[in-house]
Structure 1
Amino acid sequence: MNKNKKKKTIALVAHDNRKADLVDWVDYNWKELIFHDLVCTGTTGAMVEKVLQENCMLANTVPPQVTRLKSGPLGGDQQLGALICEQKVDILIFLWDPMQPQPHDVDVKALLRICALYNIVTATNRSTADFVISSELFHQEYKPLVKDYSAYIKRVIS
């Protein structure tokens, strides 16, 4: 890895109807992704691991370790949200399906709320993911500014 590149933790999540799109994106960008720590929910993680292993085998390089959380509806969204709260995730690529109601919609909304709260880079479609991975900032140290919520935490409740 180039010494000037900053290793990031990238979370990859996709709803069922968007998993193929995410796998295609990973397949296209694998040469960038192998230098970073990857976190995925459930089945998405298995699919991402497979495409990375195939590409790395062909290129005779070591695939990155992919941390696999539970499936989103089984708590993976909450696990990922906790990692974001602990500032252990730098970027979320979440290809969600806007045409299909999800049984865990409230979890998805909570995850996106946490991303906004902690001001982490969040791509919810492939175009944005393409802009993120091709940005100069992708390769640099980047510390997002997080609003100071201390007044909220210290508020008096009567």
Structure 2
Amino acid sequence: MRLGLAANRLHHSHREAALFRWLRACERGIRELGVDLHAVGRTYDALAGERILFGYEGLQRYPYGRAGGLMKLVAEVVGMGPERTLDGAIYLIDPVDPSSIFPEAVALKRQCVIHGKPFISTVASARDWIEMERVHAGLPPDPGADALHALETQTLALIAHDAMKPQMLAYAAEQFDVLSRFAGRVATGTTGQRLNELAWSRGWPTDREWVQRFQSGPMGGDAQIADLVLEHRCQRAIFFEDPHVPRQHEADIQLLERAVTTVTDEAVCMTTPRVAARWAEAARRRAQE
């Protein structure tokens, strides 16, 4: 398993920065799973300075971002042959760092979404992903990840662009038992209505909404959910994006993504049906342990 790894400067600027918090929590899991981390130059240098993953053969150094390191990760997410193909990317984003909206940064996420690979942009998502893969590998649950899997205390956002709404409905139908464990669910207008209709058809009480509906995306629903994330009232988002169609409310979509990265230790975001399905199966298995 190979992942690209990058972090904006804020996230490796001191010993307690986000990159190091994540790796201290997950270094054992990374070693257990044998994950190869292909780290852009400055991120690699930061790890070497802190001697994290010291001696780990799976840690590889790529050029600095200004020398094309992040661009190389984008190409390898797409695939450059058997020896140069990544299974996803971890990019810990500082939402106010200008480099987070450079073309190569935007392209890294877009190509992960297009190819159905994980794009992991927060500490919570990175910890959650390692635990998900540990569960699938048959390893015992990590008690340090228990809070991430306390779904009964969390609120989940379910968001899908127009072309992805059928996939969201199919996903919710297939994973209804796991999604119903959450303390609450929220969604933007049309998606929320369809999800409620699905839940009622599955026996959910008709006098109760399965999801709380906000405005449609173009009318500000993404911004409303972003506010919940910033107020620590929404801890997980499943966001099925359509990367092929320009959207008039692109700024609102970016607002939600920025909110998630602002509360990096608390918010988990998944952006493809394949990753979301793999997470749901891991959550189901972990609950049975």
TM-score, with length taken from structure 1: 0.76
Residue 194 (structure 2) pairs with residue 47 (structure 1): yes
Structure 1 residue 35: Cα displacement? 2.3
Residue 237 (structure 2) pairs with residue 101 (structure 1): no
2:175 to 18, 26, 29: 29
2:272 to 125, 131, 149: 125
Structure 1 residue 87: Cα displacement? 0.4
RMSD: 2.6
Unpaired stretches in structure 1, ≥5 consecutive residues: 141-158
Unpaired stretches in structure 2, ≥5 consecutive residues: 1-148
Structure 1 residue 6: Cα displacement? 3.9
Q: How has the CA–CA distance of structure 1 residues 74 and 138 changed in structure 2, closer, same or farther, with 3 Å as cutoff? A: farther
Task: Give aligned pairs, total.
Answer: 135
1:9 to 146, 155, 175: 155
Q: How has the CA–CA distance of structure 1 residues 19 and 136 changed in structure 2, closer, same or farther, with 3 Å as cutoff? A: closer
Q: How has the CA–CA distance of structure 1 residues 73 and 139 changed in structure 2, closer, same or farther, with 3 Å as cutoff? A: farther
Q: Aligned equivalents of 2:278 and 2:258: distance in 1?
A: 21
Equivalent position of 2:203 in the other structure = 56
Equivalent position of 1:116 in the other structure = 261
Structure 1 residue 103: Cα displacement? 0.6
Residue deviations 1:9-30, cap 9 Å, x none? 1100001100000000000011
Q: Aligned equivalents of 2:219 and 2:244: distance in 1?
A: 21
Highest Rg: 1 or 2? Answer: 2
Equivalent position of 1:153 in the other structure = none
Highest RCO, 1 vs 2 (Cα 8 Å, sep ≥ 6): 1
1:67 to 212, 222, 240: 212
Conserved? CA contact 2:195–2:210, under 8 Å = no
Partner amino acid, structure 2, of 1:66? V
Report percent identity of matched pairs.
28
Structure 1 residue 137: Cα displacement? 9.7
Structure 1 residue 138: Cα displacement? 9.7
Q: How has the CA–CA distance of structure 1 residues 101 and 138 changed in structure 2, closer, same or farther, with 3 Å as cutoff? A: farther
- Secondary structure in 2 matching 1:27: helix
TM-score, with length taken from structure 2: 0.43
Structure 1 residue 50: Cα displacement? 0.9
Partner amino acid, structure 2, of 1:10? L
Equivalent position of 2:78 in the other structure = none
Q: Aligned equivalents of 2:191 and 2:236: distance in 1?
A: 16
